[in-house]
Structure 1
């Protein structure tokens, strides 16, 4: 992306709102709802993707893929910069998100696992073996009250 600040137009916002409600909406359906051409919808979506303003992704329910344990983990590091440790953690398949944070820990991660037995293996044999990981502070998510992927309002 260039240094030039690119913003959403009103049309872009309307397209994104439709896609947030129905990520499978075709360009033709969006064009019909907005009373514009299909090619205009396609070009606006392409422009937003190319400029890093939007990504189209598929989000699945955790349990649909046998991920029955959701584990937030606070991670403290030592001996390496936190961003390097976080980069290594991000390569693990079980890790859904990694954040550098202020507060009690250096890094916070969200881990998805099929069962409690997998948690021990993950914590002891994968996560704790990453160079620079000093301590781990896991917590169990006992219920998911809200999980929305569209993190930024348009």
Structure 2
């Protein structure tokens, strides 16, 4: 599916404020509310867009953000990744190529919770042979709307 200018404008406005109504969008884009509703439905039906609430991990009280590289042995990386994805502290899990098999992003309320997660909970996941954690010292960019519109 190709996005046209109106589709892009709708998506950009909803990225700024996902609570805009069809009437609000129509007024700003100088089209009818019916046109907006039809476009939004098509974009959602074609999996080009979803309107969701996004939380900010630091505003939600999480002090620690770490990237963790995971090496897997004696089990498929996909199985391990699916198990890791079930942890509430893990908000991103990717199968990757390179020296690691999996990359994940983890948040924790504080360093005590991080230590418990890394030392106790991850140790129960069968197949993990090595972890390479990297603590985020400062988050320079956190972009949840990463898919380009071109």
Match 1:87 to one of 64, 72, 82: 82
CA RMSD of aligned residues (A): 1.2
Q: TM-score, normalised by structure 1?
A: 0.91
Quote how far apart the aligned CAs of 1:96 are.
0.9
Structure 1 moving runs of 4+ over 6 Å: none
TM-score (norm 2): 0.93
Work out which of the residue numbers 33, 50, 54 in structure 2 matches 1:55: 50
What is the total number of aligned residue pairs between the two structures? 149
1:111 corresponds to 2:114? no
Give deviations 1:66-87, integer Å, cap 9, x for gaps: 1110011000111121111111
Which stretch shifts more, 103-112 or 9-18? 9-18
Could you report, residue by residue, the CA deviation over 1:61-120 in whole angstroms, capped at 9, with x for unpaired residues? 212211110011000111121111111111110001011111221100000100000011
* Unmatched tracts of structure 2, length 5 or more: none
Partner of 2:32: 37
Secondary structure in structure 2 of the residue aligned to 1:117:
helix
1:3 corresponds to: none
- Following the alignment from structure 2 to structure 1, what is the Cα–Cα distance between the partners of residues 56 and 134? 20
Distance 1:64 1:20 in 2: 19
